[in-house]
């Protein structure tokens, strides 16, 4: 798979000719709804086996081969050129498909309004082939240890049909928000814990979950050790039942990081007890905050670098958003919330307002600004093929277990093509 960034004068015909593919293949891979109107700065995935590399100033066969993990003799042979050939800038070289690492891929799916929409179910069905786990969000713990289940509809059948597993997401959500009071009860009251674990085990076996995933957020800081003790108790019980246990972790950059979201999450304890963890490495740019990248890679990298001091790499799933936000400027604290947009919707907005898409190389994220019909300025940050590929490169570099998406429902076809191109996805029978 190749990534091409649209520049002035590009057309689907010229791009297809450059990479030796067809216009139809480009339209299908990128699900282009206006193929005759590309946006400057828009990234496209090119559906080819392997990729092309265009020689840059200072390149040599040796340096290019090293970059792609192959010998310069093999690179010369594949491209039918002498090993001592002078390389002209702009020369197109073919790079064959490289060996792909195995990873675990999870995606949360969140029904809203107490029902599973047809669009959400279709999204799960369309993307389950790329997943190790499908995670319906969420089983809410009640104060007596009982559980309130989400609607599951056909999620189990969808997972089974695609050799994926179901993840049982258990939370301390109460009245639409994570509850510190409820969390305190769960991690400190033994009778509630015993009832809860009985209910979790019964539900997991009845429905067919293979992993129990605790997403307890905004716990009181003083409950840090109590939460870790609860996880050890839960792990013992779940292991006896043949179930895996995973947890969601706030994106910390140090053990002493302060804040209600962070302090009760002990990375070292979770890394020891859990089978794997999900780092919630997103929402730097969030709907109620100022405009910025949702998961800027420089900030994500800080979290991962710290996590690796406490948790083995083969237990870490990198959290990744599948959406962006459209903020109305200027930002006012407590003011209008940003609107969530899919990558496809973001591109359509840029095209509608005839503005180019820019790319922040520090955050590794695309963005643009526009003015609406009422004279309000907007700033949009979202994800594209480049920003996702940067995360995949980091997963490979650091040997992480895999990736966890928040959440299915918004269209981002490029992500799934690149995921398949970069990795072999482990499945239930793997």
Ordered domains of the chain (ranges, CATH): 2-95 (3.10.350.10), 102-319+401-425 (3.20.20.80)
pLDDT at 62 over 60: yes
pLDDT tens string 26-44 = 999 999 999 999 999 999 9
Q: Which of 61-70, 203-212, 299-308 has the lowest mean pLDDT?
A: 61-70
- Residues 40 and 8: beta-carbon distance below 8 Å: yes
Q: How confident is the model at residue 113 (pLDDT cuts 50, 70, 90)?
A: confident
- Mean per-residue pLDDT, 367-385: 98
In the set 110, 121, 174, 217, the catalytic residue is 217
**pLDDT of amino acid 171:** 98
More confident residue, 377 or 98: 377
Q: Is 374 a catalytic residue?
A: no
Lowest-confidence pick of 91-95, 319-323, 375-379: 91-95
Which pLDDT does position 412 carry in this prediction? 96
pTM of the predicted model over 0.75: yes
Q: Which tens digits make up the pLDDT trace of 279-290?
A: 999 999 999 999
């Amino acid at each position: 798979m190749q990534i091409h960034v649209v520049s002035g004068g590009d057309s689907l015909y010229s791009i297809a000719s450059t990479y030796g593919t067809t216009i139809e293949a480009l339209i299908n891979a990128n699900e282009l709804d206006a193929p005759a109107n590309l946006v400057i700065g828009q990234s496209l995935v090119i559906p080819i086996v392997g990729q092309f590399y265009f020689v840059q100033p200072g390149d040599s066969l040796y340096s290019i081969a090293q970059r792609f993990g192959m010998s310069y003799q093999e690179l010369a042979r594949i491209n039918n050129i002498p090993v001592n050939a002078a390389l002209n800038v702009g020369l197109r070289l073919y790079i064959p498909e490289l060996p792909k690492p195995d990873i675990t891929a999870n995606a949360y799916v969140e029904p809203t309004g107490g029902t599973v929409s047809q669009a959400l179910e279709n999204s799960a069905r369309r993307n389950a082939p790329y997943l190790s786990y499908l995670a319906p969000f969420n089983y809410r713990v009640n104060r007596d240890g009982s559980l309130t289940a989400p609607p599951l509809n056909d999620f189990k059948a969808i997972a089974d049909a695609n050799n994926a597993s179901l993840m049982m997401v258990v939370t301390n959500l109460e009245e639409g928000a994570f509850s510190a009071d409820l969390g305190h009860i769960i991690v400190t009251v033994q009778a509630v814990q015993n009832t809860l674990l009985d209910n979790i085990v019964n539900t997991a076996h009845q429905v067919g979950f293979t992993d129990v995933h605790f997403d307890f957020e905004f716990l009181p800081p003083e409950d840090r050790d109590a939460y870790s003790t609860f996880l050890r108790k839960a792990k013992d019980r779940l292991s006896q039942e043949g179930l895996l246990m995973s947890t969601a972790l706030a994106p910390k950059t140090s053990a002493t990081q302060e804040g209600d979201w962070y302090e009760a999450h002990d990375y070292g304890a979770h890394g020891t007890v859990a089978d794997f963890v999900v780092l919630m490495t997103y929402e730097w740019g969030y709907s109620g905050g100022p405009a910025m990248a949702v998961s800027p890679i420089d900030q994500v990298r800080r979290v991962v670098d710290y996590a690796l001091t406490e948790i083995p790499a083969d237990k870490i799933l990198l959290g990744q958003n599948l959406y962006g936000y459209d903020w109305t400027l200027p930002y006012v604290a407590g003011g209008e919330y940003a609107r969530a947009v899919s990558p496809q919707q973001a591109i359509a907005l840029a095209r509608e307002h005839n503005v180019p898409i820019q790319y922040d190389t520090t955050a590794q994220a695309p963005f643009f600004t526009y003015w609406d019909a009422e004279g309000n300025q907007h700033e949009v940050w979202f994800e594209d093929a480049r920003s996702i590929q940067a995360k995949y490169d980091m997963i490979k570099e650091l040997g992480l277990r895999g990736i966890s998406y928040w959440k299915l429902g918004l269209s981002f076809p490029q992500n799934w093509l690149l995921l398949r191109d970069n990795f072999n996805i482990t499945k239930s029978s793997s």
